[in-house]
């Protein structure tokens, strides 16, 4: 039977734990690191271990400058699954020295029971803790996603309530995710081995979604996952 | 042409009388303006009322740009939750008129998603409809491919509370739910349709029994006998929002509202005892249940005493594990009996974005360990 590009919530958990392990293996030198957060929503059900999400917080993304724009344009031309190919040192970009224009971002990957796929939620703030509005965030985004944002303000990045935290966060709309995940993973030789797929699911997924928000995955990690073959 | 069931009409005609006060910090004139009285459709959204209420207050507002938001007893109201659901959730003992406070300044952007007027509400509605379509059909193509004019008409039908026009446009979206035929066929056929919850429609796509549901769970610590004594919800953090589809599973018996709630809150039903679901309910009784919501769907919900009878006795003490107790289970202003067929509840009491919104008050004594 053809796989439809979706995950169950327990598969998401498996994928998430595998992703954390892999990320920490390739980017072991410094924070930030992904971790698994338990849902704070229903504290009285400690036993319900499947409910949780991935988080990566306090990430510095460079504000827009001439130099960044050049990088951004290069990146935009690459194939989605192979981003970061020629700048493998990009992992170090995640942590940068403090800078006037530096914005900090929090990224959460939450499983959607409706779409049966992971959904990226994020928020940004200035060094003084002030939250960033969409206009500020747009300036931090890679050039091509800012363009998409202009063209389709509502279907692309929207502000929605974080499903666990009850506060408005930015999110990328997930309605197309299963479609492109199917395409992305069906080129993979390991298509029938579902276990392998789910463990690599989030690497492949973030290789696409991360591009939109300027969050890059180390090339070695992609290669290891077989998404770039 | 589908004109909608009687219960659907009651839901669409349902409205909440609001008495809206301007927040005192925004009153610049003496005497302060009197409150605005408006009738808010249950299926509508609070920001859609702004054109109606702005004239009451425009002459007294301080200078600045409008960023309208509403508040009930200090709690900022989420504008993307249908008005009827907010009322059901926040007013356990229905208050009429419902006294809300409006603010035109000082939007609490850290708590509420920004709202740029009707457009924001429209896109939030369309996004929810897309989500529902995805749950039902496994994709949202029908919503994405909607023509511009259909999309406008669909939205106008919600804004203008026009059920007939809504049914006509939304029928093009092919969002039929398995078990749909319940309302027209006999009880016997219901059981059949429930059993075959995965069926193929004529376009060849697989139709599942996944039902879009949003459940709002209020965890009450203190016990209370009457809903008028229910503790006020003072923060959204007190509410667990469970946005999770319900899978209709037919196992030779029909799937009830209680089955649906159990599937959403499994932790409360872990040690389930036997009562309701195993109780033999005769076909005639089912027939009565079926009519029940349409009788109650009017704008006069039951009194607190009635609620005690329906929710507490039936669901409460017997089925919930340990000492946890469902104190209130309310949908569209009524407290349907837990043994009512879920497909009836969905098809008749869902909101126009195709989600069924369920409000639940549950009491768990502090010391409980599940």
Confidence of residue A135 (pLDDT cuts 50, 70, 90): confident
What is the extent of the structural domain holding B352? 176-363
Of A4, A47, A160, the CB nearest to B138: A4
Q: Whole-angstrom Cα distance, residue A206 to residue A199?
A: 13
| Mutation for testing the B interface, residue in A47, A161, A162, A176 having most B CBs under 10 Å | A161
Is the domain of B70 the same as that of B207? no
Same domain, B95 and B203: no
Cβ B265 vs Cβ B286: under 8 Å: no
Q: Could you tell me the pTM of the whole model?
A: 0.80
pLDDT given for residue B251 in this prediction: 59
Across the range A131-153, mean pLDDT stands at 73
Interval A173-192: pLDDT, tens: 888 888 888 888 775 555 55
* Contact between residue A126 and residue A132 where contact means Cβ atoms under 8 Å apart: yes
- Residue A19 predicted with pLDDT over 50: yes
Nearest by CB: A159 against B113, B140, B244: B113
Q: Is residue B3 over pLDDT 90?
A: no
Mean predicted confidence (pLDDT) in B111-138: 94
B337 lies in the same domain as B255: yes
List Cβ neighbours of B183 (8 Å cut-off, separation of 6 or more): B5, B344, B347, B348
pLDDT at B294 over 80: no
pLDDT digits (tens, 9 = 90+) for A84-110: 344 444 444 444 444 456 889 999 999
For residues B146-164, one letter each, b for 16 or more C-beta atoms within 10 angstroms of the residue's C-beta and e for the rest, the string is beeeeeebbbebbbebebe
Instruction: Find out whether A218 and A88 touch, Cβ atoms under 8 Å.
Output: yes
Whether residue B275 is contained in a domain is answered as yes
Q: How many domains does chain B have?
A: 2
Which of the listed ranges A26-35, A132-141, B39-48 does the model predict with the highest average pLDDT? B39-48
Instruction: Please tell me which residue of chain A has the smallest CA distance to B134.
Output: A115
Give the domain-ending residue among B71, B103, B135. Answer: B103
Q: What is the CATH number of the domain that holds B20?
A: 3.10.20.620
| Res A83 pLDDT > 50 | no
Question: Helices (DSSP H) in B172-309: which residue ranges?
Answer: 187-195, 257-264, 275-278, 283-296, 304-307
Given this model, what pLDDT does residue A152 score? 56
The full DSSP string for B285-315 is HHHHHHHHHHHHTSS-PPPHHHHIIIIIIII
Scored b (16 or more CB within 10 A) or e, A135-160 reads eebbebbbbebbebbeeeeebebbbb
Find, in chain B, the residue whose alpha carbon is nearest to that of A43: B240
Percentage of chain B modeled with pLDDT above 90: 61
- Judge if B224 and B75 occupy the same domain: no
Residues B192 and B318 in one domain: yes
CB contact (8 A) between residue A175 and residue B140: yes
Chain B, window 69-88: residues with a beta carbon less than 8 angstroms from a chain A beta carbon: 78, 80
Domain-embedded: residue B95: yes
Query: How far is residue A25's CA from residue A85's CA, in Å, rounded to a whole number?
Result: 19
Give the tokens for residue B36.
């605005």
What pLDDT score does A30 carry? 63
Catalytic choice (A82, A126, A175, A228)? A175
Is-contact B347 B183, C-beta < 8 A?
yes
Domain C-terminal end among B52, B80, B103: B103
Candidates B289, B288, B198, B177; CA nearest to B250 is B198
**Yes or no, beta carbons of A114 and B113 under 8 Å apart:** no
Instruction: Report the share of chain A in percent with pLDDT over 90.
Output: 20
Q: Which residues contact B65 (CB under 8 A, 6 or more apart)?
A: none
The dihedral formed by the CA atoms of A15, A20, A22 and A24, expressed in degrees to the nearest 10? 180
Asked whether residue B125 is domain-assigned, the answer is no
Residue of B110, B138, B370 lying closest to A167 (CB–CB): B110
Q: Identify whether the C-beta of residue A197 lies closer than 8 Å to the C-beta of residue A188.
A: yes
Per-chain mean pLDDT for chain A: 73
* Average pLDDT score over residue span B64-86: 97
- Which pLDDT score is estimated for B233? 93
Q: Is residue B155 part of a domain?
A: no
The shortest CB-CB distance from B245 to any of A113, A161, A166 is to A113
Is B97 in the same domain as B186? no
| Residue A74 confidence (pLDDT) above 70 | no
| Domain final residue, candidates B103, B129, B150 | B103
Task: List pLDDT tens digits, range B244-255.
Answer: 999 987 655 789
Has residue B24 been placed in a domain? yes
Query: In terms of domains, do B87 and B216 share one?
Result: no
Has A175 been annotated as catalytic? yes
B residues 229-248 closer than 8 Å to A (CB) = 236-237, 239-241, 243-245
d(CA A185, CA A201): 8
B212 contacts A114? CB cut-off 8 A: yes
Closest residue, chain B, to A5 (C-alpha)? B138
**Chain A: residues touching B (Cβ < 8 Å):** 4, 41-42, 44-45, 47-48, 113-115, 131, 154, 158-161, 163, 166-168, 173, 175, 179
CA-nearest of A95, A102, A94 to A126 is A102
Please confirm whether the linkage preceding B358 is cis (ω < 30° from 0). Answer: no
Between B152 and B186, the more confident residue is: B152
Closest to B74 in 3D by CA, of B226, B229, B234: B234
Residue B364's pLDDT is: 78
Can you give the pLDDT at residue A62? 60
- Indicate if B36 and B182 belong to the same structural domain: no
Sign of the torsion formed by the C-alpha atoms of A39, B264, A168 and A96: positive
**Model pLDDT for residues B306-331, shown as the tens digit of each residue:** 333 333 334 444 444 556 788 999 99
In tens, the pLDDT along B347-362 reads 999 999 999 999 999 9
**Interface check B144 vs A, CB under 8 A:** yes
Mean pLDDT of the residues in chain B? 81
Residues of chain A with C-beta less than 8 angstroms from the C-beta of B130: 175
Instruction: With a cut of 90, say whether residue B77 has pLDDT above it.
Output: yes
Predicted pLDDT of residue B322: 58
User: Lowest-pLDDT range, B30-34, B238-242, B305-309?
Assistant: B305-309
User: Positive or negative, the Cα torsion across A202, A208, A214, A220?
Assistant: positive
């Amino acid at each position: 039977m053809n796989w439809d590009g979706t995950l169950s919530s327990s598969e998401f958990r498996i994928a998430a734990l595998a992703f954390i392990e892999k990320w920490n293996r390739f980017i072991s030198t410094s924070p930030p690191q992904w971790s698994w957060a338990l849902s704070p929503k229903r504290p009285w059900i400690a036993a319900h271990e499947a409910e949780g999400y991935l988080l990566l917080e306090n990430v510095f993304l460079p504000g827009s400058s001439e130099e960044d724009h050049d990088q951004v344009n290069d990146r935009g031309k690459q194939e989605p699954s192979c981003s970061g190919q020629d700048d493998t040192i990009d992992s170090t970009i995640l942590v940068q020295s403090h800078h006037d224009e530096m914005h900090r971002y929090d990224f959460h990957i939450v499983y959607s029971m409706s779409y049966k796929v992971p959904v990226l939620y994020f928020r940004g703030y200035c060094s003084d803790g002030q939250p960033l509005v969409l206009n500020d965030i747009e300036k931090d985004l890679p050039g091509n996603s800012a363009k998409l944002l202009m063209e389709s303000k509502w279907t692309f990045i929207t502000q929605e309530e974080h499903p666990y935290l009850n506060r408005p966060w930015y999110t990328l709309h997930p309605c197309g995710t299963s479609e492109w995940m199917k395409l992305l993973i069906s080129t993979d030789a390991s298509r029938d081995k579902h276990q392998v797929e789910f463990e690599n699911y989030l690497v492949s997924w973030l290789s696409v979604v991360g591009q939109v928000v300027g969050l890059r995955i180390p090339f070695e990690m992609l290669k290891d996952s077989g998404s770039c073959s | 042409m589908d004109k909608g069931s009687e219960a659907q009409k009651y839901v669409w005609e349902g409205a909440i009388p609001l008495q809206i006060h301007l927040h005192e910090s925004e009153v610049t004139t003496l005497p302060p303006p009197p409150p605005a009285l408006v009738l808010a459709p249950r299926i509508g959204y609070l920001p859609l009322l702004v054109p109606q209420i702005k004239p009451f207050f425009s002459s007294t507002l301080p200078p600045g740009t409008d960023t309208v938001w509403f508040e009930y007893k200090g709690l900022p109201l989420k504008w993307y939750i249908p008005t009827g659901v907010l009322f059901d959730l926040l007013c356990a003992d229905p208050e009429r008129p419902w006294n809300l406070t409006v603010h035109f300044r000082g939007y609490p952007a850290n708590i509420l998603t920004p709202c740029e007027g009707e457009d924001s509400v429209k896109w939030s509605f369309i996004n929810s409809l897309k989500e529902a379509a995805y749950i039902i059909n496994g994709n949202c193509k029908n919503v994405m491919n909607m023509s511009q004019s259909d999309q406008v008409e669909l939205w106008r039908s919600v804004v203008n509370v026009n059920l007939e026009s809504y049914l006509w446009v939304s029928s093009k979206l092919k969002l039929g739910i398995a078990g749909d035929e319940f309302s027209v066929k006999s009880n016997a056929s219901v059981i059949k349709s429930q059993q075959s919850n995965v069926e193929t429609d004529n376009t060849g796509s697989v139709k599942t029994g996944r039902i879009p549901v949003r459940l709002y769970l209020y965890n009450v610590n203190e016990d209370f006998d009457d809903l008028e004594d229910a503790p006020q919800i003072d923060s959204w953090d007190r509410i667990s929002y469970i946005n999770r589809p319900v899978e209709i599973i037919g196992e030779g018996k029909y799937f009830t509202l209680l089955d649906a709630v159990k599937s959403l809150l499994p932790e409360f039903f872990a040690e389930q005892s036997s009562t309701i679901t195993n109780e033999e309910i005769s076909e005639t009784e089912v027939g009565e249940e079926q009519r029940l919501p349409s009788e109650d769907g009017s704008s006069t919900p039951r009194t607190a005493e009635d609620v005690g009878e329906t929710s507490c006795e039936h669901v409460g003490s017997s089925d919930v594990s340990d000492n946890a107790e469902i104190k209130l289970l309310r949908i569209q202003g009524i407290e349907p009996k837990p043994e009512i067929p879920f497909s009836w509840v969905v098809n008749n009491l869902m909101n126009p974005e195709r989600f069924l919104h369920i409000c639940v008050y549950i009491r768990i004594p502090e010391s409980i360990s599940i």
